[in-house]
Amino acid sequence: MSLKRRTILQMIPATAALSVVSGQSMAASHHVVVVGGGFAGATVAKYLRMWSNGGIDVTLVDKNSRHVSCIMSNLVLNGQLQLGDLSFDYSTLQDKYGVRIVQGGVRRIAAGMVELESGDLHECDYVVVATGISFDDIPGLDSRKIPHAWIAGEQTNLLRDQIREDMPRDNGTFVMTIPRAPYRCPPGPYERACLLADILRRRGDGHRVVVLDANDRIQAERTTFERAFYGLYRDIIDYRASVSVASVNSDERIVTTVAGENVHGDVVNVIPRHGAPGLLVESGLTGGGRWAPVNPTTYESSLIPGVYVVGDSQATAQPKSGHMANSQAKVCADAIIRAAAGLSTQNRERLANITTNSACFSPITATEASWLTAVFRLNTETRAMELVPESLGEAHDWNSENYSAMFDWSENLFADTFR
Amino acid sequence: MTQSKRRLSGIAILLSLPFAASPALAEDETVNRLLASQCAQCHGTNGYARGDFEDIAGEEAGDLFEDLSDMKGEDRPENIMDHQALGYSDEQIRRIARYYASLPEDDPERQAGSEREGEVEIERAGEHEYEREYEREYEREDEHEDEREREEHDDDERDEDDD
């Protein structure tokens, strides 16, 4: 590359920043409202601004002033991290990329319109919905007493504190339940079971971690987790497949299974089944299903044109995770920029190159981790995202090298999303 | 705004992108940009990585292509990148390599001397301290386990059919 070209390239961000600051970007009439500032929403907002050189106005609405990452949050349970390490405000999105940040709940979504709970109306050309998951009700379940800790934040600290305070020194029982797939972060619950076993075997003797899995088998990294459950932690982890929760006694900490068995724990962690949040259901984005159907070449809703759904709420069969949400968000941002430019999102060259990928690390002990990875590509005939089979892989072993790489991975993913 | 005006301003957005304007390129550089952005989750936005993961911005296209092709060709894929590389066609790898080769090797933001805002690096000092503490515990644990194993036999072997 010539020096001259480098110089020109280096000037581009400065020019873009200027046009944002001066508010004189060339196509300011294109306005996108992004609802939800997690991995999907923050990435869409950032990449829309970055790739349009500030040419598209972006407003990010979230009910909270910061996002707390679920990724790495199992390490809050064993005290290695604190929530502050995993909390990201939107100041960089605002200051560096020129995203307008609005804090508030959203009451209603329609094509070209987002209505806040405050009554404020935000009109726009495109709406992006990235509000993650909500949980099914389970009779008797009170998550203030029996935490799910599957949306990170206070729930994570509640579970951490219960583990610290309510598990006895010896012979304690920790019960956790895994919902029917698809749920957020396929390896996550198994990783949590391993970390709990690790915490408890250090605390004393005779502890048990009872894992009630609504699925008929381990959902991710099966080789790794089977080795951990039936090897390293064989004396602690009691894994039971195909066991669903019927009800919970939140005061007595008892889970009653569909088969009628009562399972009592000193600490109980119930993760209910997931679905798209009520906002999407009420706005007509789920069409009676559990998730919002979208076109995976754009993430535009199959039901409401002009509204896009990215991340865990959407119905493509890709795994639900923060890494995947970031990955999909870029496809969505590219599609919206093209749509704003009046250009096709469906030309052959673009479709042939739509990919997403997943990579994640799972701590198996407090010093060792495994990993899982996969690439997905568009099947141009069925128009569905499909796994590239040979790309699917999991670590041959859990070790400290992977554990260290886990921090590099999360650091880069967090930065690519929020910074 | 009329449709044609909108279209024009939209085209201006695309033309303002770094590479779309280059007349020498037959392929759509925004397609390459989208494809290449899928590396950023681990290798940083525009390939400027943090921590110990490799920076890929400004790498020679030939080198990147060769590296990824080698990973793809591993008889027994061993690490994440061996598997990731298998997810892309040679043509896609060439596009990704071309895209990163077109970026400056050093992050313009870092060069400008602007401090990166809001570093997201998680405390590693604490992590290592914790590691050492755990290693000590592991050693004690191992000694303890050896004793127990001598005393006990495999009578507590888990029954794998209990589900």
Distances (CA, A) of A19 to A12, A60, B14, B39: 11, 19, 15, 28
Task: Tell me which DSSP letter residue A212 carries.
Answer: E
Q: Around Cβ B54, how many Cβ atoms within 10 Å?
A: 13
Angle at B85 between CA B82 and CA B90, to 5 degrees: 140
Candidate from B17, B117, B156 with C-beta closest to A419 = B117
- Let me know how many helices (H) and strands (E) chain B has, helices first: 8, 0
Chain B residue at shortest CA distance from A95: B117
For the segment A88-108, the average pLDDT, to the nearest whole number, is 98
Q: How many CB pairs under 8 A join A and B?
A: 228
For the segment A265-281, the average pLDDT, to the nearest whole number, is 98
* Interface test mutation site (partner B, options A353, A362, A387, A407, max chain B beta carbons within 10 A): A353
pLDDT of A25 reads 39
* Interface test mutation site (partner A, options B30, B42, B76, B78, max chain A beta carbons within 10 A): B42
* Interface test mutation site (partner B, options A20, A416, A417, A419, max chain B beta carbons within 10 A): A416
Q: Do B158 and A234 touch (CB under 8 A)?
A: yes
For the segment A7-28, the average pLDDT, to the nearest whole number, is 37
Q: Do A366 and B130 touch (CB under 8 A)?
A: yes
Domain boundaries, chain B: 23-105, 123-152
A245-249 and A237-240: which strand pairing? unpaired
pLDDT of A255 reads 98
Measured CA to CA, the distance from residue A246 to residue A139 in angstroms comes to 7
Give yes or no for residue A249 having a pLDDT over 60: yes
pLDDT of B108 reads 87
* Interface test mutation site (partner B, options A357, A372, A392, A396, max chain B beta carbons within 10 A): A357
Residue A46 Cα, gap to closest chain B Cα (Å): 10
pLDDT of B163 reads 35
Torsion of CA B153, B158, B160, B162, to 10 degrees: 130
Residue A116 Cα, gap to closest chain B Cα (Å): 26
Measured CA to CA, the distance from residue B158 to residue A196 in angstroms comes to 18
Q: If you average pLDDT over every residue of chain A, what do you get? A: 94
Give yes or no for residue A55 having a pLDDT over 70: yes
- Let me know how many helices (H) and strands (E) chain A has, helices first: 11, 25
The percentage of residues in chain A with a pLDDT greater than 70, rounded to a whole number, is: 93
Q: What's the token pair of residue A314?
A: 């959407």
Q: Which of A101-115, A358-372, B132-146 has the lowest mean pLDDT?
A: B132-146
pLDDT of A246 reads 98
pLDDT of B150 reads 53
Q: What's the token pair of residue A311?
A: 């991340």
Single out the residue of B126, B114, B28 nearest to residue A352, CA to CA: B28
Measured CA to CA, the distance from residue A401 to residue A405 in angstroms comes to 6
Dihedral angle sign, alpha carbons of residues A147, A152, A158, A163:
positive
Q: Which of A46-50, A57-61, A142-146, B70-74 has the lowest mean pLDDT?
A: B70-74
pLDDT of B110 reads 77
The CATH number of A137-272 is 3.50.50.60
Residue A224 Cα, gap to closest chain B Cα (Å): 14
Residue A173 Cα, gap to closest chain B Cα (Å): 17
Which is the CATH superfamily of the domain at A3-132+276-346?
FAD/NAD(P)-binding domain (3.50.50.60)
Chain B residue at shortest CA distance from A6: B104
Q: Is A313 exposed, middle or buried (0-12, 13-18, 19+ CB in 10 A)?
A: buried
pLDDT of A29 reads 78
pLDDT of B112 reads 64
Chain B residue at shortest CA distance from A52: B13
Dihedral angle sign, alpha carbons of residues A41, A42, A48, A51:
negative
pLDDT of A410 reads 98
Within 8 A of B12 by CB-CB distance, chain A residues are 26-27, 55
Within 8 A of A365 by CB-CB distance, chain B residues are 134
Own/partner pairs for B127-131, CB < 8 Å, 24+ apart?
A: B127/A80, B127/A407, B130/A79, B130/A80, B130/A366, B131/A366, B131/A367, B131/A400
Q: Do B80 and A413 touch (CB under 8 A)?
A: no
Q: Do A412 and B53 touch (CB under 8 A)?
A: yes
Complex-level ipTM: 0.91
pLDDT of B151 reads 53
pLDDT tens digits along A154-200: 999 999 999 999 999 999 999 999 999 999 999 999 999 999 999 99
Q: What's the token pair of residue A163?
A: 């583990």
CB of A65 closer than 8 Å to CB of A144: no
Give yes or no for residue A367 having a pLDDT over 70: yes
Task: Tell me which DSSP letter residue A312 carries.
Answer: G
Does domain B23-105 fall under CATH 1.10.10.10? My reply is no
Distances (CA, A) of B81 to A298, A373, B43, B70, B162: 26, 9, 11, 10, 38
How does pLDDT run along chain B (163 residues), one tens digit per residue? 444 444 445 445 554 444 444 444 578 999 999 999 999 999 999 999 999 999 999 999 999 999 999 999 998 999 999 999 999 999 999 999 999 999 999 998 876 654 444 445 554 434 444 444 444 444 544 555 555 555 554 444 444 443 3
Q: Do B83 and A47 touch (CB under 8 A)?
A: no
Measured CA to CA, the distance from residue A370 to residue A195 in angstroms comes to 13
The reply to whether domains A3-132+276-346 and A137-272 share a CATH topology is yes
Task: Tell me which DSSP letter residue B105 carries.
Answer: S
Domain boundaries, chain A: 3-132+276-346, 137-272
Alpha carbon of residue A27 to chain centroid: 32
Within 8 A of B134 by CB-CB distance, chain A residues are 365-367
Within 8 A of A6 by CB-CB distance, chain B residues are 104
Secondary structure (3-state) at A362:
strand
pLDDT of B147 reads 54
Within 8 A of B127 by CB-CB distance, chain A residues are 80, 407
**Max CA-CA distance within chain A?**
74
pLDDT of A176 reads 98
Q: Is A227 exposed, middle or buried (0-12, 13-18, 19+ CB in 10 A)?
A: middle
Chain B residue at shortest CA distance from A413: B41
pLDDT of A415 reads 98
Q: Which of A138-152, A220-234, B101-115 has the lowest mean pLDDT?
A: B101-115
Q: How confident is the model at residue A26 (pLDDT cuts 50, 70, 90)?
A: very low
End-to-end Cα separation, chain A, in angstroms: 28
DSSP H helices in A205-359:
222-227, 278-282, 322-340, 348-351
